Amino acid sequence: MSVFNSSHYDDHELVSFCQDARSGLRAIVAVHNSNLGPALGGCRMFPYANDDHALDDVLRLSKGMTYKSALAGLPLGGGKAVIIGDPASLKSRDLLLAMGQFVNDLGGRYITAEDSGTTVTDLKIIAERTSYVSGVVEGGRFGGDPSPYTAQGVFLGIKAALAFKHGSDDLSGVRVAVQGAGAVGRHLIELLIAEGAIVFAADVNVKHCQLAQQSGAVVIPCDHIMGFDTDVLAPCAMGASLNADSVEIIRAGIVAGAANNQLASNAQGERLLRRGILYAPDFVINAGGIIDVYYQRAEGGSTKTAAHLSNISSSLLEIFTQSAASGLSTVAIAEQLAEDIFLNGLRVKAA
Ligand code: NAD
């Protein structure tokens, strides 16, 4: 395994490995860039096929966090942690305590949070060994779970996209296809239906389909969702749903959803532009969670979270406008704007 030869290595400031034989912990923390502040990002636990996959994932995800926080106007850098192993069989109190010690030993350069494979309960155990943890606020509106805020941000982003494309953000009668009715998708469906949208949802999990239906969504088969005839497609499941094949069958005029790394590659961003489909870059529209997690540690709490979420709409409108003027894809513009903030210090949006 070579860090520097990984195709995902991009001048990361820190890559740290930890092995704790007693608990079975094998983990990697990566800090991509901390020009704007300490690196905050979730701790993912996943049964990676090999160590290289884990390394690639943590390098890629930590870089994504730098771009996300910069455009969200947060004084944070980008970081991420991965624990190698199946959460169902390997996760234990001892392993989580060892992870807490690992994070603590980094002295605050990396602040951890929940991610796929870890829960708020796990984070509370990690917090027994380190204060560099976010997303464990007791008594908060959602008990530390950022998903409702991510959904709120996506909801505002969909409205911004409608306003840009059609001159009105009125959702009544607007048809939206939601791929993935999990933690974020479920809240998004509720917000959309409350404002009069007609929502179609697809999920591989039958229970999640039932919950979506109870909220008023029309459940459709998973293999119909990408090409379903709607105004908006909201990918809220896994990454890379926008690939060379799927971008050709999309009928929605707007793609705006929560999933991380939606584009299999930036070429799909170009293709969406050429097809006249307005794409809201994922790392801009799904920043509600990181905004919430930031304010769980900062003064101001949930009142500031709500106010700060409006940054998502203004950033997207700027990106859409620049994309239309330049002919560059929205994702290319978003990356350029983020680099102007965290690399070139051209615009410091930090609160
Ligand atoms: P989740 O696991 O709760 O929900 C994902 C849902 O997608 C599940 O219900 C799953 O069954 C479904 N799914 C998986 N594959 C599918 C497929 N092929 N077709 C249809 N449904 C499928 O996750 P979540 O927390 O809701 O996050 C959703 C996405 O948003 C993820 O990509 C995540 O990385 C991203 N995201 C989440 C947050 C957050 O605050 N939770 C923040 C930023 C980004």
Structure tokens at 57: 């994932």
Residue 48 pLDDT > 60, yes or no?
A: yes
Q: What's the CA-to-centroid distance between 179 and ligand 1, angstroms?
A: 9
Alpha carbons 344 and 187: distance in angstroms, whole number = 36
Rounded to the nearest whole angstrom, what is the distance from the C-alpha of residue 236 to the centroid of ligand 1? Answer: 5
The residues, ordered by sequence, that sit 6+ positions from 315 with a Cβ below 8 Å of its Cβ are 71, 72, 73, 284, 334, 337
Strands 14-20 and 25-33, bridge-based pairing: antiparallel
Mutate to test the pocket of ligand 1, among 60, 179, 186, 238 (most ligand atoms within 8 A of CB): 238
When pLDDT is cut at 50, 70 and 90, the band that residue 349 belongs to is: very low
pLDDT value of position 351: 41
Burial (0-12, 13-18, 19+ Cβ within 10 Å), 239 = middle
What pairs with residue 142 in β-bridges?
Answer: none
Catalytic residue among 68, 80, 159, 349: 80
Q: Separation of 31 CA from ligand 1 center, angstroms? A: 24
Catalytic site includes residue 80: yes
Q: What is the pLDDT of residue 325?
A: 98
Q: Which of 79, 66, 64, 84 is nearest to 110 (CA)?
A: 79
Three-state DSSP class for residue 55: helix
Tell me the mean pLDDT in the region 6-21. 95
The pLDDT of residue 300 = 64
Q: Which residue minimizes the CA distance to atom 31 of ligand 1?
A: 259
User: Among 67-81, 135-149, 299-313, which range has the highest average pLDDT?
Assistant: 67-81
- Asked which of 6-20, 85-99, 115-129, 286-300 is least confident by mean pLDDT, the reply is 286-300
Smallest CA-to-CA distance from 250 within 180, 162, 177, 319 is with 177
Ligand 1 neighbours (beta carbon < 6 A): 146-147, 150, 179-185, 202-205, 208, 222, 236-239, 258-260, 286, 289
158-179 pLDDT, tens digit each: 999 999 999 999 999 999 999 9
What percentage of the chain carries pLDDT values higher than 70?
95
Q: What is the best residue among 65, 204, 263 to mutate for testing ligand 1's pocket, by most ligand atoms within 8 Å of CB?
A: 204
**C-alpha 218 to ligand 1 mean position (Å):** 18
What confidence tier does 124 reach under pLDDT thresholds 50, 70, 90? very high
What percent of the chain stands above pLDDT 90?
Answer: 85
With 0-12 / 13-18 / 19 or more C-beta atoms within 10 angstroms meaning exposed / middle / buried, residue 37 is middle
What is the spatial distance between Cα 180 and Cα 167, in angstroms, rounded to a whole number? 28
- Domains identified in the chain and CATH numbers: 14-62+77-126 (3.40.50.10860), 147-342 (3.40.50.720)
pTM of the full predicted structure?
0.92
